Structure 1
């Protein structure tokens, strides 16, 4: 007992010490800031050391940043209208009536002003930008983990944080800058000016049409479909209550969020009652108001986020990363430091509010056409497993081979919602056998380890880790086969053997150069799609486009140019192709992949696309969890994937994605024929390498000798049979795998690849190991 009491006393003593330290530090800081404001030299020196990187801003500097609130940023297609002006996709922030910002406190409901003052800053009209006791109180509440926290930032400080400061990290240096700037801002602008700028700067989440709501006018329209001046008391209280946690209180994110927002609204109303802004009667009447019934209804014509939400959000992110790099930030380093997400959010806000013009690579006609046609005559199923519901999805990308520009994409089969995933650009999936040309055969030909006619013995072989054997689909083996034949039918064993002969490090080095780096723990199974991590459709498609571009790799991109509000170019895409494969290797791989669509695992495609010089590769993961086809002409590469978000098995065979691919190809060719020239051909550059006859030549010779001996024995057996017996049948030779879909021509099924999804804890304990690696 005494031991526990002693521990509690030490804990109380430590807490008193922390409180005393915190209080002392705060008042010391406050004194320094006061001295700074009064011009005391020592105060200026110490404070200057804390905010050494922050420039001394004039009123004009503040005005420039604050005026950015009245600018909107826009996104454009690559297409132009009849006047040769780029076709606008939409506004990044608000558009139409959502675009309007208030110019005076008289432009909003008095209830809204009172709600902000009562909840966010009760001393707003009397302080000088900061309230030391409020900051100390907030720090104390955080220290003792109080159930209810009141916040320490004044409205002026919040405005500085929202608009002026770029660094959003919650540290002492940033807080010091915030306080200094708030004091200066308060001295240069009137209270009502600051309040107007503040109400225009606050983010309120997404409205009923999924548009970003910046400013109270946008919030009033996006949440309740009324002008900010027409907000009633409970609506004003609801909006004011959203400031600190706009997503958690967003009524369009579900019933739970709505109820959280209503509780917050009730707190705001109570604050207004306590400060004398409303009467008890008004308070009780407001509590009875049906907020849910007053919410705005969707308007499909509202802005770009309604018509092209996946494009707009993709452009937001890519533009933000461009601006980050423009400011000298290293995205990879930010990720390692855990600061990428917070920094990205800060720059996304700049994209939305600084008047930028973002010119995309998207072809509107092609985008509209392929998204309309992609799912034609396809049935997408739903599945539920252990309470998790899944819907079959489709992701596809079309890339210009010459530049890497993304011309169009299919983001999924579901309509956009706030939790929607872009299956074309963002979702990483296991690649299946589509990886074989990129990791195995392309590098091996480039390194002169093999040539297309090199013989490889297709046989059952053990795994390097001793866990079992690699097998082909159907557990059939074909003896000596050429590399070309092995790729045509997507046999697993030859790919493993070639990869091991090439060297894993060498093969993986090519993936890194192609923008699809391997995981550090990947091994030989990666050769047949057994990777630890997957890749996005966009990145896989760009990697395949390298073969179509004579071995030159272009990183996929979505933005061609970014200008500021005055039209000055601040960033423009510079094409910088990287030589990965020689033209000879690229042509040889392309020629091999031609056979895939002519008579191999991709014949379903070849029998339906006529007149084009077409090459491509299928890919399937274990249990049909991921179904791929990536194909290309001399001008464009189209990659398509289908599957579930949660790794369920598809209800279809691998023709499902191929049908979608055919739909996409035909729609794109019809809508944008300039990218689909039937006369374009892959040109043979000459001097093709063909110097490797076989791998494991001795082993192949022994295999052939054994087969000859077996054939001789069969002949001898036949010759020695009594004359009244029927002749012995020749040994059967297993045909290539065949799903029998729409013959002729017959289409082989794609063998599966090792999944990257985590298996159940008891998987593999109840039955012998079976080859999980698909084609």
Structure 2
């Protein structure tokens, strides 16, 4: 027996020695690994903790007394901005209340590139479709201009596609913190990152079930898992989670850990995009910032953490309600709620704000803007630095443009069923561009009928023949040599083009053989326009086209005046802006300002214009193009409900492959194109296919229609002329006269040669007739 004991002592000593070595080695390993983790955590937290996608916003919306408004569009805009409609005042922030003659709005707080606005309550009064007054509700103080915050249009997501709005712990209400702790870790402020009793309970449960179904994780461990580790369920990962939690608690205080947790945690799904952080979750589920959450709403959010897509109020309200009540009960159990607060919260239903799937609005405009942003910032910056990009887009104009195009194309197909195509890629298409001519701000852009089917942007990428829509560039070139009263030949003639005979013709086969320049443009006579182009000089017209910003190849051929080459619609719209902007060519702008995540200005894009023609020449062109809408090819505009002065030009190409209308007022310009991508005939003209869409759009945006016309500048002279000769009318002699405008350098100086010689005899006859007239 003693021999056995003697032999066992060396073995025991060996085992103890090995155990000590293992324990020491393990301790050293843990210490080394802990040091490694500490450096890794410190480095991660010292830098940018999250990749925040940059956000694209629309322009702000201005409201002011006297402004015409489309009230249904305004109410819809307020709903998109997150204003909840309530049945009565007084209001809380983010609420609105409508009555027959007014609307009360309690504005949100928001930061623009130039000022920060603290929300206040206002009453906007209407009479018919005009704003009469705007005043603060608290003191009835008049508000001369009310600015509504911009709408979010898109975010530049990285590969993780996460929406996250960072908040500081100071902004989080105490009852929301208590709700989260009641749901996830009621002992958070009492442990050091790990709840060993909880881990032991979970371990026993897992051993019984034979799977890892419980983790016993503290809030700190959840942060370690979500922020540093993969979601795999293994004991090895669990050990790493435990060590990271201990290091986190050692290096950071509780509130900092809680703040990082609240900004990191996953809170659900919006389409293909995940909702992360309590700031984003509050907006997604309840349409309000965390400061304005009720106790019940806070408990609802806290209850979602366990399984966001299981307890989501958008998925199952009854399950969500049950989970919320469990959290409320846990809050009461921890003395974080009084009985009165609990009893007040329990009966209330769960009422989520509602949402649409996360998708880009104004998608063709967004594609255009994305290409511009790519020239300014690399993709990783846009997807990680949380920039705020403010654009020129007016969402009301964009919606009106999309709706007008959809209705217009549907009308055309209904009127002519042969235009309908079964294959989505072959359907009748269209494009709409709306620009502020004096600034170049792009207010709306529709590049096609359905972005989901075709992402090809016909507004910026298509090359189509402009047809007669090009004629204004011919006529503006001619104003150096011709006047609106000059007569042009409108008779058929054969031209040689590349060795082949070319014989153009008028759309109207019964057009007169001679017309004035004004009539030729108003009625869009092809023969007169070709004749004018040759007299002016084809190369001069080519030079004008290039100066006006058309980048496509334009050759000095006789057919040039009829727009037989290709143009990009946005460039053609820009060219027309020269007339509407009193002779200035603007640069099309989609981006106004870019701010960083600290609201510091990074980029600011101002309107950029250059003078191309004199204000006098622009005024004459505006007057000529107004004749198109009053007595020419777009005269049907009035019957479509356009009862304000406007200028514009229709365009139709050979075989009716393209239909155009570009129309404008002093404040706004819109281009409409209709056609098939494949070039098939639409069997219609610009006045029948494109003009109704333009009129429909304009009527929907009354805030841009002042009803005013251009002021006549210096350098323009009015003169009464004889329409038969184009010269100064002889009083009581010329039978057909009209008031015409001229450049002061090109005014008719001679009296009418046709009727001047006959004046004395005619005057004598008129006197004789008066003597014998019996009244």
The structure carrying a bigger helix percent of its residues is 1
The structure carrying a bigger strand percent of its residues is 2
Which is greater in Rg? 2
TM-score, with length taken from structure 1? 0.50
Higher RCO (CA < 8 A, seq sep 6+): 1
TM-score, with length taken from structure 2? 0.50
